[in-house]
Amino acid sequence: MSLATDGADKPTLYKRIRADIEKRILTGEWPPGHRIPFEHELVARYGCSRMTVNKALSELAQADLIERRRRAGSFVRRPQHQSAVLKIADIRAEITALGRAYGYELISRKLRAATAADRERLGVRKAGKVIAISCRHSADNVPFAVEDRLIDLASVPSAATADFSREPPGSWLLHHVPWTEAEHTISAIVADDRTAEALDIAVGAPCLVIDRYTWRSARTITAVRLLYPGESHRLVARFKGG
Amino acid sequence: MSLATDGADKPTLYKRIRADIEKRILTGEWPPGHRIPFEHELVARYGCSRMTVNKALSELAQADLIERRRRAGSFVRRPQHQSAVLKIADIRAEITALGRAYGYELISRKLRAATAADRERLGVRKAGKVIAISCRHSADNVPFAVEDRLIDLASVPSAATADFSREPPGSWLLHHVPWTEAEHTISAIVADDRTAEALDIAVGAPCLVIDRYTWRSARTITAVRLLYPGESHRLVARFKGG
DNA sequence: TTGACTTATATGTCTAGACATATAATCGTA
DNA sequence: TACGATTATATGTCTAGACATATAAGTCAA
């Protein structure tokens, strides 16, 4: 509309308060340990009610930028240097985001009674059926990652009839299983014969490994190992805090 | 009212509302796409004011568990399967948390005018001085990681006189530079001669690599490369969302 | 000096309203 | 039927209070 000159649209007051404080912390004007103004002081400065500044400060506390202590005040926290947001995108999304052509290929799919090794890997005790899947993702027809997955059929019965020859199991699960929790473990190995062939790299070349273990309400859903060529693939995590 | 009987302490009302809803989402009772009750319905159910349920729902929206749409209502989001919280702890903290003895050893420290390669690595244009540090972290006297770091003295002048023979540069920076932003890149390589010797592993053994690039207010602070023995070290990221 | 008790105060939570705003639904018209 | 205008409504933000509660700081006695 008419006011195209500068700062976009009008942010709400509590967002402006939050941004003001965040800026002073991030520029170092208010270093770690610094006591930021009391709520009543901010109320006076911005001419608003206490609930408004409280909302701003609560969000900063939730983001771990400040620490709030009763009776004492609110203080700039020391950066933690420890929690980063690591984007582990769906492989198809990752590849298409790079502007490359996504390719998928099912290598093997076996439905079997869970072996001792399967139960160990899934972290379940009871016997039951599992699906073991091996597949490959490629970008512009170059191998991008190989996937080795185990799905617990007791938790996801409908996986028995899913067609994994066209849809990657990761996408299928994402659309057929609601909210889950997961644990990722990242490590490095060197390619053995089988891996080297699947990824079209040399035996002994480095590989990045992501092991993901997924569950819902304490029930195991799936365990997957992803192998990437180590020198060409990178995981990027960007974050605030040292 | 008179609903006090049970044990534990009494969580506040908005936290109870948030936990109730979160539980229904996580157990799958309310699957992705499900419309959760309107604020006025929750107000009626819990017998509280709208601001209280609004606070609960706002926090769920901030955590990306629900999506709020004006006029339409609030809906359970589809899990993203893409952002994980990766804990990249301070190495000393990581080792002591494992109950092992932390050891630190400075391998080299050089103060020099930035070379073209240094400027490239730090992403700065202007000439200036840098400190290049190479050091090793160990756990119970076993090499744990080697660190190769560059610090931009224009941004952190006091680093020139810091004693890095006893304190790791990471810890020192953490305590002398306020809030920063960083980008981590994780990859895998195989050990060359120098790395193999420093980590006491075989040449050609896999290594996990973390490259961290740190800045504050668009100003580069430091660039560091951490090398871990790939098969013994693991990065763990745990999170919600598929 | 130490420990126990009291007090002051900043944050934590909550209320019962208010108006703003985006937008789904409905209605009316071409 | 398709499209534009209107309306209804759920969320977004805000207010001016309130009481609860943890705790820093001060007070006083042993």
Question: How close, in Å, is residue A144 to chain B by CA atoms?
Answer: 14
Asked whether residue B75 carries a pLDDT value surpassing 90, the answer given is: yes
Taking the Cβ of residue A203 and every Cβ of chain B, the question of whether any pair is shorter than 8 Å is answered with: no
Q: How far is CA B119 from the centre of its chain?
A: 26
Asked if the Cβ of residue B43 lies within 7 A of any atom of strand C, the reply is no
Task: Give domain limits for chain B.
Answer: 13-76, 86-238
Q: Which residues are registered as beta bridge partners of B207?
A: B189, B229
Grade residue B3 by pLDDT with cuts at 50, 70 and 90.
Answer: very low
- Angstrom CA distances, A216 to A24, A213, B15, B24, B189, stand at 41, 11, 22, 12, 34
DSSP state of A171: H
pLDDT for B16 equals: 98
Asked whether residue A7 carries a pLDDT value surpassing 50, the answer given is: no
Distance CA A97, CA B124 (A): 28
Three-state secondary structure call for residue A193? helix
Three-state secondary structure call for residue B197? helix
Enumerate the residues of chain A whose CB falls inside 8 A of the CB of residue B65. Answer: 179
CATH number for A13-76: choose from 3.20.20.20, 1.10.10.10, 3.40.50.2000, 2.60.120.10.
1.10.10.10
Q: How confident is the model over B207-236, as a mean pLDDT? A: 89
**Report for A90-94, B103-107, B230-234: range of highest mean pLDDT:** B103-107
Å: B170 CA to C18 C1': 52
Whole-complex ipTM: 0.91
Enumerate the residues of chain A whose CB falls inside 8 A of the CB of residue B188. Answer: 188-189, 206-209, 228, 230-231
Grade residue A239 by pLDDT with cuts at 50, 70 and 90.
Answer: low
Please give residues of chain A from 21 to 40 whose alpha-adjacent beta carbon (CB) lies under 7 Å from any atom of strand C.
38-40
Query: Chain C positions under 7 Å from a protein CB?
Result: 8-18, 21-24
Q: A236 and B184: CB-CB below 8 Å?
A: yes
Q: B174 and A62: CB-CB below 8 Å?
A: no
Query: What residues approach strand D to within 7 A at the CB?
Result: A 12-15, 47-52, 55, 69-72; B 38-40, 50-51, 54, 57-58, 61, 68-74
Distance CA A195, CA A182 (A): 25
> Over chain A, what is the mean pLDDT?
91
Distance CA B40, CA A95 (A): 43
Structure-token match 């306020």, residue found: B178
pLDDT for A1 equals: 37
Residue with the larger pLDDT of the pair A94 and A224: A224
Taking the Cβ of residue B183 and every Cβ of chain A, the question of whether any pair is shorter than 8 Å is answered with: yes
The CATH homologous superfamily of the domain defined by B86-238: Chorismate lyase-like (3.40.1410.10)
Taking the Cβ of residue A192 and every Cβ of chain B, the question of whether any pair is shorter than 8 Å is answered with: no
Residue range A204-232, pLDDT digits in tens:
999 999 999 999 988 999 999 999 998 77
Asked whether residue A65 carries a pLDDT value surpassing 90, the answer given is: yes
Distance CA B85, CA B92 (A): 20
DSSP state of B65: S
Of A65, A79, A174, the CB nearest to B180: A79
* Contact (CB, 8 A) for A205 and A192: no
The CATH homologous superfamily of the domain defined by A87-238: Chorismate lyase-like (3.40.1410.10)
DSSP B80-124: -S-EEEEE---HHHHHHHTT--EEEEEEEEEEEEPPHHHHHHHT-
> Over chain B, what is the mean pLDDT?
91
pLDDT for A242 equals: 45
Distance CA A195, CA A203 (A): 8
Residue range B162-181, pLDDT digits in tens:
999 999 999 999 899 999 98
Beta strands in A12-82 (DSSP E): 35-36, 66-69, 73-76
Q: How confident is the model over A18-35, as a mean pLDDT? A: 96
